[in-house]
Every structure is written in C-alpha cells, then in structure tokens.
Amino acid sequence: MVKLEEVTEGHEDFSDGEPSDNDSNYSTDDSDSEDLEESILERILALRDIIPEDTRESISNKISTIMSFGVSSARLLGNGAWILTTSALLIFMPLAYEIEREHAFDQAYSQMENEQLNPYGQPGQAGQPGQPGQPIPPGQHQPRGTLIPPGF
C-alpha cells in the first residue's frame, strides 16, 4: 500500500543525502531532453495509431487528387506560356525588325534630302534656281553635288 504525505513549501527532507526510490519516479532534465529529441517525423508516424485507417486513406486520396490537379495545371500553364511566347516571337519580331528598318530608311532619306537642299552646309535662299520646286533656267547647269530625283 502507498502512503501519501502532504509536503509544504520550504520543507525539504534530506536526511541521508542520497536519492530515494521516490526520486526516480519524477522526470529529470535528461528525460525531458529525450522527449524533446523526438523528431517531427516520429510524431507524425505516431499519429498513424491515432487516426483510423479509412480516415487516413481519405486524406491520402484528397492530397493525391490535389497534387495531380496541381501538376496538370502547371503543365497546361507551361504549355500555354510556350505557345504564346513562340507565337509572339514569330509574329512580332519580324514586324519590329521591319518597323526599325523603315525608320532607319526614313532617317537616311530625310538626311539625304537635307543634303540635297543645302549641299554646302550654307543656308539656301528661297527661289534660288536649282532648288527643289524651282525650275532651272535654260542655259544654266545644275550645280555640282546636288541631285534631284526624277519627277521633281
């Protein structure tokens, strides 16, 4: 039979200085650290005994379904992104190239027109013969360095 004693605060009984058998029933710091060393995986595996088999199968099936849906969605999204990217490259890159080429051609043409209007870097006078839009009088030659395209 077990004898119970009430212990009051501040009352410590160290009669012989050696631990008694009752001291072994209490957990020490070493046994607490052993409990703390239990990994999360071991704790999850211990839940296997607590959760019934049909509930575990149901949870497993739901997680499996969600994962397969996620993989399928990611694959579909990746394929769609690939199709959009390659289509955009095939359609818009040549278009951008042609726009840039036309812009460069326009710049070169406008620079050439400016050189024709003013071949010597001097400001021209309005109404001067030989300028675009002004006829060259008979007997005069077109100044060298200016080129007037046909039809002007």
Extents of the domains making up the chain: 40-115
Q: Is the pLDDT of residue 13 over 70?
A: no
Beta strand spans in 42-151 (E): none
DSSP SS3 for 125: coil
Separation in Å, CA 16 to CA 13, 20, 42, 48: 9, 9, 42, 47
Band the pLDDT of 85: cuts 50, 70, 90: very high
Specify burial of residue 115 (Cβ count, 10 A radius: 0-12, 13-18, 19+). middle
- What local confidence, expressed as pLDDT, does residue 111 receive? 85
- What local confidence, expressed as pLDDT, does residue 141 receive? 61
pTM comes to: 0.38
